[in-house]
Amino acid sequence: MPDRHPPTRTAADLDGCVEDLRAALAGHDITLPSLRLDLPTFAGAYALPVGLVALGNCNTVTARKLTAVLKESGRAPNPLLLDLDLLAVPMAMPSLRLTVRRHVGAPCADVELCVTELVANVIRHVGEGAPVRVRVFRVFDGRIRVEVTDPNTRALPVLLHATGDDEAGRGLALLDAVALRWGVEQGETGKTVWCELDECVVA
């Protein structure tokens, strides 16, 4: 039987394939920052961890087969709760919090805090009006993962230890206090700042 997913070469097809694979891996508590990065760019922008294991490159056919195996192995990715494109502006924050609450299914202050702080960080360090993508979904063990993607590859978040008189530097400290873990994934055309939190009690 011919492959239902023949090899494709368009950027949209590749991006969709990578997003499917990333979501399938997230369902197994696996994050691969190097997905969809060319090796020279990745090597120049990423601090390699000790004991790095290179999994190698694969084409879209192989990536889709891997995605299918992950989904069928008994721990399929949990449903996507929110996938939203918006402009990072202060006036969007109240409706963003409401949207997060509605899609998560119940008030969840920590998730709302992380989403708004990550978007606020884009406003402060990338620029007001920058386009962002906000994603909230469940991962392994019921944890909730928040991702905010912006088009700037250079303005990386830095955890500061603000003093009582400081007017800035508290956003990431708050996120660091409530999240189980957080990090940054750098891509060719932007970056994604993510965090994972304990599951909310939903109705």
Instruction: Check which CATH number belongs to the domain holding 188 and give it.
Output: 3.30.565.10
The confidence score (pLDDT) of residue 8 equals: 44
Whole-number Å distance between alpha carbons of 49 and 25:
19
Q: Are residues 103 and 183 in the same domain?
A: yes
- Residue 21 lies in domain: 11-72
Residues 101 and 161 in one domain: yes
pLDDT number for residue 46 = 55
Shared domain check, 103 and 187: yes
Task: Kindly report whether the global pTM for this prediction surpasses the value 0.95.
Answer: no
Nearest CA among 36, 81, 30 for reference residue 186: 36
C-alpha pair distances (Å), 29 with each of 32, 40, 132:
10, 26, 24
68 and 100: one domain? no
Q: Which residues of the chain are modeled with pLDDT < 70? A: 1-13, 27-29, 31, 33-34, 36-56, 73-78, 159-171, 201-203
The backbone region for 161, taken as left when phi is positive above 0, alpha when psi lies in -120 to 50, beta otherwise, is beta
Q: In this predicted structure, what is the pLDDT of residue 201?
A: 53
